[in-house]
Amino acid sequence: MQLEDNFIEVDNIEIDLRNRKLAALLAWLIPGAGHFYQGRHTKGSFFLVCILTTWIIGFALGGGHVVYASWQPGDRRWHYALQAGVGAVALPALVQGQRMKHKTDADGRTMPSYRPLWGGFMAPPYRPVFEDRADEVSAWYAVHGAGYEMGTWYTMIAGLLNILVIYDAFAGPLAIPISGRKKEDADAKPSASDDDTNAESSAQTSDDPN
Amino acid sequence: MPSQLINMPIADMLSISPTYLLHYLPLIVAISLVFGATRHEDTALILKHSFHTARWITGFMAFIFVVLAFISWLI
């Protein structure tokens, strides 16, 4: 139920979303931070623990090499676009990627003078990278096996989940589908007849401006 | 024979090590809780929604597993 611009009511709890855009930005930077800013501490804790744990497990499974930013022939790391959904923890990859970009010659090879920062933390692989030849990426696969693939998935899923969290910080909880609301009504009123339940659900639907 | 399928060890039906299934646990917990928490504000409702989500996803994956195991047995 929409009360005012920044006040909504969900589950009979009134929520002050405060500055929505700032909350969304904070939610992107650190999962759950936007909710802490809005005083929604329980949900903020859920998001912080769930998303960062998933992301860290994935990062560890892949030996710390699954998150990097690169857009070179043979190594178009589109996964990073999803991994970056968790915000600040993925940002070092952008710095490393930019550093590698400046140290890549016209032939797409990493220059000998290249030195990654922070011991190679989130650094892209040495170039060139080919799908059918032995290079640094294939070495990572060889060392970590399925963990590399699994780690990539974990970190991507964490980033995707944080998109839901950003939306929640900006606009409040997502609407439950009408079918779900009918089921909840039925659970809440087991003694009511089906006709009553359907009538109530229809009324809710007609009230919903969406 | 269906009895052969039933008596077949689960490890033989999987093309990966059964320990890999442990990767499923943190994922299902995180996904369910985030799904629940982005649809409710009340903690009890969040946990209830999370449980339903986890049950639905697990049931769906179990169904797919049974279908694939059956097809594998047919082949």
Let me know if residue B5 belongs to a domain.
Answer: no
For residue A104, the 8-state DSSP code is B
The answer, yes or no, to whether residue A196 has pLDDT greater than 70, is: no
CB contact under 8 A, A173 and B40: yes
The answer, yes or no, to whether residue A102 has pLDDT greater than 80, is: yes
Check residue A187 and give its pLDDT: 66
Average pLDDT over residues A182-203: 52
Let me know if residue B47 belongs to a domain.
Answer: yes
Give the list of residues 6+ apart from residue A153 with CB closer than 8 angstroms, or none: A58
Residue A165 contacts B, CB cutoff 8 Å:
yes
Check residue A1 and give its pLDDT: 47
E strand or H helix at A76: strand A75-76
Indicate the residue of B16, B33, B38 with minimum beta-carbon distance to A173: B38
Average pLDDT over residues B59-71: 92
Among left, alpha and beta (phi > 0; psi -120 to 50; other), residue A141 is alpha
What does the mean pLDDT of chain A come to?
A: 84
Among left, alpha and beta (phi > 0; psi -120 to 50; other), residue A40 is beta
Let me know if residue B33 belongs to a domain.
Answer: yes
E strand or H helix at A75: strand A75-76
Contacts of B46 in chain A (CB under 8 A): 43, 46
Residues A149-167: pLDDT tens digits? 999 999 999 999 999 999 9
* One domain, residues A146 and A191: no
Residues B16-40: pLDDT tens digits? 677 788 889 999 999 999 999 999 9
Check residue A201 and give its pLDDT: 40
Let me know if residue A146 belongs to a domain.
Answer: yes
The answer, yes or no, to whether residue A141 has pLDDT greater than 50, is: yes
Report the range of poorest mean pLDDT among A25-29, A182-186, B31-35: A182-186
Let me know if residue A120 belongs to a domain.
Answer: yes
Indicate the pLDDT class of residue A35, thresholds 50, 70 and 90: very high
Number of domain units in chain B: 1
* One domain, residues A75 and A163: yes
Residue A170 contacts B, CB cutoff 8 Å:
no
* One domain, residues A139 and A65: yes
- Residue to test with chain A: of B33, B41, B46, B57, most A Cβ within 10 A: B41
* Cβ pairs A/B, distance under 8 A: 63
* One domain, residues A125 and A208: no
* One domain, residues A190 and A123: no
Indicate the pLDDT class of residue B69, thresholds 50, 70 and 90: confident
Residue A159 carries which side chain, given as an amino acid letter? G
The answer, yes or no, to whether residue A107 has pLDDT greater than 90, is: no
Check residue A138 and give its pLDDT: 87
Phi (first) and psi of residue A87, to 5 degrees: 80, -125
Report the range of poorest mean pLDDT among A13-27, A55-69, A192-206: A192-206
Decide: residue B12, CB within 10 A, 0-12 exposed, 13-18 middle, 19+ buried: exposed
Contacts of B41 in chain A (CB under 8 A): 10-11, 13, 15, 40, 43, 172-173
**Structural domain of B39:** 19-74
Let me know if residue B7 belongs to a domain.
Answer: no
The 3 state secondary structure assigned to A124-142 is CCCCCCCCCCCCHHHHHHH
Number of domain units in chain A: 2
Let me know if residue A54 belongs to a domain.
Answer: no
CB contact under 8 A, A157 and B26: no
Contacts of B30 in chain A (CB under 8 A): 50-51, 53-54, 157-158, 161
Phi (first) and psi of residue A104, to 5 degrees: -110, 130
Instruction: Compute and round to an integer the Cα radius of gyration of chain B.
Output: 16
Closest CA in chain B for residue A9: B41
Let me know if residue B35 belongs to a domain.
Answer: yes
* Higher local confidence (pLDDT), A106 or A157: A157
Let me know if residue A25 belongs to a domain.
Answer: no
Indicate the residue of A42, A46, A57 with minimum beta-carbon distance to B26: A57
Indicate the pLDDT class of residue A188, thresholds 50, 70 and 90: low
Let me know if residue A19 belongs to a domain.
Answer: no
**Structural domain of A84:** 61-169
State how far residue A76 is from chain B, nearest Cα, in angstroms: 26
* One domain, residues A86 and A152: yes
* One domain, residues A91 and A122: yes
